Amino acid sequence: MTSKERMLCAIWNKKPDIVPVAPDMSNMIPSKLTKRPFWDIYFYNNPPLWEAYLDALNYFKFDGWFIYGSIELKYESCVKVESRIIIQDSEKMEVEYFYNTPEGTLHTIVVYPKDNPPWTKEHLIKNFKEDFEKIKYFSPSYYTSYKDFDDNELKKMRDKLGDKGVLGIGVPCPGFHIWQGNFEKGLLGLTYAYYDYPDLFDTWAEIQHKDIINFTEYVIKAKPDFILTGGSGAITLASPSLFKKYALPTIKVISEMANKEKIPVMIHCCGKEKDLVEMCYNETFVNCINPLEEPPMGDCYLSEIKKKYGDKISLMGNINTTFMLTAKPEEVEKVCKKAIDDAGENGGFILSTGDQLGRDTPQENIFKMIEVARTYGRYF
């Protein structure tokens, strides 16, 4: 099997030739391998992160889990974006972004370190009630004229990836996991705003649900290998009840739409995830879930999840990323074999990490993980 065939087989909860192996190295490892300042990748797109990932894929030779697929809806937004570099030295760049709407301007400051991914120093939303009218202009459904999409970049990605892995497009879902990154003081600022203005959040979730479902229609037309939804900390940053209120209704529709067109849907949710697995199993058409982190990072054990839910949902995970950063190769071999024993029976399992590998993860540990899947993980 090719890596693409192998990954798709496992995502559809079937048995491939060997256990696929796709360690999550979505940001830091590919950026480090370029030997460039990280701002080259994240700010200047030189190279774009997706190309850096493909270089890492060619270097390590695992099964590609390509999550950078994108399409662009064709409409004329009235939000005009400007940016300016306000600080630049040998260790970092700081860039201020201005989002000019008919109701006023929002702005944010993003820091681009030399050797780490960017982080937000000043967030977009300072006063949720006052800023809400401006935020609405970010919604594509506010503009009724768009009827098409541009997938030229996606075609380029597909050509360069080839059969080395599966190509996915990200489709978000409403909830604290995507909202908190927009609020001054982060999760704390979001939480206070939520309890002050719950009705506004209900409205915001309704707007986003409509946008996302419309976007999903175009994503399906672009025919990716899979759709990736969910988000980091979808339950850990909120609660099972808030996830069920805001995110689950959208995931239900996304997964039903995609499965009707034979496109599998995968959910990413680092942190606590056991309640999410149960919801997806009972209430959605979701096909695969990752990264299923163990305590203390999460609340999932592969053997338990496989036994309860493995007849319907395939699993991807869950080697601890801090462990990968500090372990010796022989220790990596042991835990990878255990993960395969716990979740690999009859297929439906992708050996991966419990979220993203740290920047300084020893390469020998990554190579050992891949070796175990290629040898110990054989089905035939």
**Rounded (10°) CA dihedral 157, 32, 84, 77:** 20
Give a yes or no: residue 218 inside a domain: yes
Distance of CA 216 to the CA centre of its chain: 16
- Indicate whether 318 belongs to any domain: yes
- pLDDT bracket for residue 185 (50, 70, 90): very high
Which residues sit opposite 90 in a β-bridge? none
Do the domain assignments include residue 93? no
pLDDT band at residue 146 under the 50/70/90 scheme = low
Q: How far apart are CA 155 and CA 46, in angstroms?
A: 19
Q: Which residues contact 199 (CB under 8 A, 6 or more apart)?
A: none
d(CA 101, CA 105): 6
Q: What CATH number has the domain bearing residue 137?
A: 3.20.20.210
Asked whether residue 67 is domain-assigned, the answer is: yes
**pLDDT confidence of residue 377:** 97
How many domains is the chain partitioned into structurally?
1
pLDDT greater than 80 at residue 118 = yes
Question: Residue 193 domain-assigned?
Answer: yes
pLDDT score at 142? 78
pLDDT of residue 380: 74
With respect to residue 104, please indicate whether it lies within any of the assigned structural domains: no
For residue 367, how many C-alpha atoms fall within 13 Å in the half-sphere facing its CB? Answer: 8
In terms of residue numbers, what domain contains 189? 3-75+124-375
pLDDT at 143: 73
30: enclosing H helix or E strand: helix 28-33
147, two tokens: 């009827």
pTM: 0.96
Q: What percent of the chain has pLDDT over 70?
A: 99
Percentage of residues in the chain with pLDDT exceeding 90?
A: 94
Instruction: Kindly calculate the radius of gyration of the chain based on its CA atoms and give it in whole angstroms.
Output: 21
Mean pLDDT of 193-197: 97
Element (H, E) at 365: helix 363-375
pLDDT at 141: 79
Read off the pLDDT band of 98 (50, 70, 90).
Answer: very high
Sign of the four-CA dihedral 283, 284, 287, 288 = negative
pLDDT at 144 over 80: no
Domain membership of residue 325 (yes or no) is yes
217-260 tens-digit pLDDT? 999 999 999 999 999 999 999 999 999 999 999 999 999 999 99
In a domain, 42, yes or no: yes
Looking at the predicted structure, is the pLDDT value of residue 112 above 70?
A: yes
pLDDT band for 102, please (50, 70, 90 cuts).
Answer: very high
The predicted pLDDT at position 43 comes to 97
pLDDT at residue 145, rounded to an integer = 63
Measure the CA–CA gap between 298 and 208, rounded to whole angstroms: 27
What is the sign of the dihedral through the CA atoms of 285, 291, 296 and 302? positive
Range scoring the smallest mean pLDDT among 141-155, 163-177, 337-351: 141-155
